[in-house]
A and B are shown apart, each in its own frame.
Chain A
């Protein structure tokens, strides 16, 4: 399941973002760089959040930017960024410090990505991830959580 590994290509630490929209763009930019989504995907995610509210804020501290396959997804994959300063989404009280963006091509193939996200949240690893500065430490923390 190579799509669920964190590498230098899909991770960025201490990213500066001025607001939630900027944070989505910077997180989705890593998907685009890796050929997983096209140039419209980020804007579609932002549009969806404006229409439906911050449904991508899965738990306090973490957002999982994503949208429908037909909105610009090319392949299944993910990216992770941590923010230098947290951002606030509309009416949610908890600031977001970690963004895990993903792309899906149907409703099932990204199952392993969702599994790892759920484990990260259920094990309460968000705060630790938000303070990590190296890929080695990130994979070390997550290693035990691979599905």
Chain B
């Protein structure tokens, strides 16, 4: 199954909250995925197809040079923004 990892600084609050919004977007568009949240320090070593994180982490992720799709959000719990940025990635992956 498609694995989506939501990442923030501590891996407990913002990422967990964002995960809930992502879950509800996925439900709306009828896509099943395995979701989890983590902190940025352990994110690089985690297997995932898509990583979703805040804009403020973009430069740190670029340093890691990761193979998966990366999505950066201005607003972590904004379902409109999540859907806008997630749908094209899901389509490209054939999940939608």
Contact = CB atoms under 8 A, between A and B. Distances in A.
Contacts, number: 76
Interface residues of A, number: 28
A77 B10 CA distance: 16
A104 interface: yes
B39 A68 contact: yes
Contact of A114 (B20, B54, B60): B20
Given A58-B76, A58-B77, A51 B20 contact: no
Most A Cβ at <10 Å: residue of B13, B38, B54 = B13
Interface residues of B, number: 24
Interface of B: 8-14, 16-17, 20-21, 37-40, 54, 56-57, 60, 75-79
Contacts of B21: 118, 122
Most A Cβ at <10 Å: residue of B9, B39, B78 = B9
B56 A52 contact: yes
A-B interface, 6 closest residue pairs, ranked by CB to CB distance from nearest: A53-B56, A52-B9, A55-B9, A66-B13, A114-B16, A55-B8
Most A Cβ at <10 Å: residue of B11, B17, B21, B54 = B17
B20 A115 contact: yes
Contact of A118 (B10, B54, B77): B77
